[in-house]
Structure 1
Amino acid sequence: MEIIKIHHPIDNNFKNNNKCVLAMGYFDGIHLGHQKVIEKAKEIAIKKNLDLAILTYDHKPSIVYKQISSHERRSITLNDYKMKLFKNLGVKKVFLVNYSFDFQNQSPIEFVNNYLIRFNVDTVVAGVDHTYGSKDADMKNMIGYSDGRFDVCAVDLSSFNDKKISSTAVRHNLDQGDIKTVNNLLGRPFKTLGLVVHGLARGRELGYPTANIEHSEFQWLPSIGIYVVNITIGDKTYNGMASIGRNVTFGDKNPITVEINILDFDHNIYGENVSIDWLYRIRGEVKFDGVDTLINQLSMDEKFTRDFFNKKRG
């Protein structure tokens, strides 16, 4: 898959030689609705024997329109993983545009002429509510802007699978810790990528050693709580239970950390880049009266986690 990074204004010498079917969107999360848009574009591309391409952005468009909090700047799917998902969906080319004020300030016809025509599009595909700049820049008006130069396909996602599927819904359920719903909306386990770093080693002292995972500040994480997870190190995947929280039993002012106790595992993995599949939320974080009570709860969490995987295998 080819990734072409573009800064507005697009270079005068830019030219895409092969005609393509283009799916447009930020695609945060690449949830089932996004997948429906991309699959529709893929269906057309196969039928016409053309390349499947994506137009997407290097960060959230909302950054250009308003002040947003550091929490809101986070993404469900960071770009590296998003590109991997695109490739798995059969995408041949990604036009990765820096979404700036100047880019969004184009008139709809300027956007069409500057980008879609130069991308050599045969068909443009997006959700019916997709916009690309000004008030009149929507899929309904795209047909007029195309002036017969390419086809337009707007995919209606309003009643997809009889439920509202959106990036907003995914983020809301992540904030609620409802991983089951998140995974249903995504059509796959919610995944994060991180680096194993040193922590305070409290888990080892309790008999539950943990891998401390450092995430990008732009990664949206589930809410504070205890979770069943899979963690992949290299090409091997292990079962584990994860904690997102402040370790409140040991103080009220601790920073939020992500720690994973990997079941039946004893190996030094500091410095490893890992991926985590979040599978189920066991409970919220609790401040215990003492270490013994905490250890007892961890034992119950471990039993729940083992039972979860045993049922899954069964």
Structure 2
Amino acid sequence: MIAAIGAFDGFHVGHARLFETARERALPTACEWGVITFHPHPQALFAGNAFRYLFTEHEREALARYRRIPRLETLHFTRALADMKPSEFLDWIGQSYGITGLVVGENFRFGRGRTGDSQTLRQEGIARRWSVDILPPLRMGKETVSSTLIRQKISLGETRSAEPLLGHPFFVTGTVIRGDQRGRRLGFPTANLALPAEKLLPQRGVYAAGVLLENHWCPAALNIGFNPTFAGIRALRVEVHLIGFEGDLYGRHLTVLFLERLRGELQFPGVQELIRRMHEDISEADASWRRYASGRESQLQWLHECLSIQRKD
């Protein structure tokens, strides 16, 4: 097996270049190729609850399908694994997966105390008669593509500028739970999403979004916040209004694409002012989705197929 190996939190366009290199290496020899990654993320093991994932383990499985990766191996990252010497780690994955070649980014680190680097890998690979490809970071314009940069953008609500770096929209998957029905009483029914605690969320505010509903995408307006217009709400909420949809979503598993941040979180002087602004938000979100979806039909269909498999698991 020729494998691209790394933490791959974002499955972004820089990672995709590693995947493509592994595929190209394997083609002439008809060798199997795939991706080896880790869960939990190495940073999560040592940072504990402070670490937030761009994509959960199940979401990354969907992204592996989106990237057409034929084999995805997820190593359970433990302190025992982290404490292996670099040569021990390579011996172990070599025997476990029949490795004949590895593809890594030049910042790849492995082994006890992160003492193994790309040059260590090259030397160890020669000794094992493995092919070793070490790729420099990918640059787009003035930016170096990295999960860290993407995480910063998402945290600031810059989902639109994060998308080219990811190669797909940022998304969340969650289960619809019962809320206080306030949106329905205001004329804007919303689905309240319960999301994994370790999932990174964008900055509070209102976003144009798209929701995977059954066999189609539905335009939506999504709010992340504390609903400051109403007293007594202390928990952060993720609420999504599906434009043009009428029905019961309780218990359903939804995938939501973030397109762009429309505005920050606001406190309105009264309910009528809030309702007027919600009408504007929904109109903007609908227009944003239409602009986004136009010309992306095949991409959205493939993303739909990959995510639908995840939703059935």
The yes-or-no answer on 1:91 pairing with 2:72 is no
The question of whether the paired residues in 2 share the 8 Å contact of 1:248 and 1:254 is answered with no
The two structures have a TM-score, normalised by structure 1, of 0.88
CA displacement, residues 166-201 of structure 1 (integer Å, 9 cap, x when unaligned): 111111111100111111210111111111111111
Q: Give the Cα separation in 2 of the matches to 1:158 and 1:275.
A: 28
Of Structure 1 and Structure 2, which has the larger fraction of its residues in helix?
2
Other-structure match for 1:9: none
The yes-or-no answer on 1:80 pairing with 2:61 is no
Of 40, 43, 48, 1:62 maps to 43
CA displacement, residues 3-36 of structure 1 (integer Å, 9 cap, x when unaligned): xxxxxxxxxxxxxxxxx11110110011111111
The yes-or-no answer on 1:24 pairing with 2:5 is yes
5 Å-filtered alignment, 1:131-150, equals: 131-134=109-112, 135-146=114-125, 147-150=127-130
Q: Give the Cα separation in 2 of the matches to 1:185 and 1:213.
A: 26
Q: Give the Cα separation in 2 of the matches to 1:103 and 1:77.
A: 22
5 Å-filtered alignment, 1:1-314, equals: 20-64=1-45, 66-68=46-48, 70=49, 72-134=50-112, 135-146=114-125, 147-160=127-140, 162-251=142-231, 253-312=233-292, 313=294
The two structures have a TM-score, normalised by structure 2, of 0.88
The question of whether the paired residues in 2 share the 8 Å contact of 1:234 and 1:274 is answered with no
Deviation of 1:112 after TM superposition, in Å, equals 1.3
Q: Give the Cα separation in 2 of the matches to 1:294 and 1:187.
A: 35
The question of whether the paired residues in 1 share the 8 Å contact of 2:208 and 2:286 is answered with no
Deviation of 1:160 after TM superposition, in Å, equals 4.9
Q: Give the Cα separation in 2 of the matches to 1:231 and 1:238.
A: 5
Q: Give the Cα separation in 2 of the matches to 1:199 and 1:167.
A: 33
Q: CA RMSD in A?
A: 1.7
Deviation of 1:277 after TM superposition, in Å, equals 0.6
Q: Give the Cα separation in 2 of the matches to 1:274 and 1:306.
A: 18
Deviation of 1:253 after TM superposition, in Å, equals 4.5
Q: Give the Cα separation in 2 of the matches to 1:63 and 1:227.
A: 28
The question of whether the paired residues in 1 share the 8 Å contact of 2:101 and 2:130 is answered with yes
Bigger Cα displacement from structure 2, 192-201 vs 84-93: 84-93
Unaligned 5+ segments in structure 2 are 296-313
Deviation of 1:93 after TM superposition, in Å, equals 2.3
The question of whether the paired residues in 2 share the 8 Å contact of 1:229 and 1:239 is answered with yes
Q: Which amino acid aligns with 2:145?
A: I
Q: Give the Cα separation in 2 of the matches to 1:307 and 1:114.
A: 52
CA displacement, residues 101-144 of structure 1 (integer Å, 9 cap, x when unaligned): 11111111111112224421121001110111234301111121
CA displacement, residues 262-293 of structure 1 (integer Å, 9 cap, x when unaligned): 11111111111111011110000001111011
Unaligned 5+ segments in structure 1 are 1-19
Q: Which amino acid aligns with 1:184?
A: P
CA pair 239-123 structure 1, distance change in 2 beyond 3 A: same
Give the % identical residues: 25
Report how many aligned residue pairs link the two structures: 292
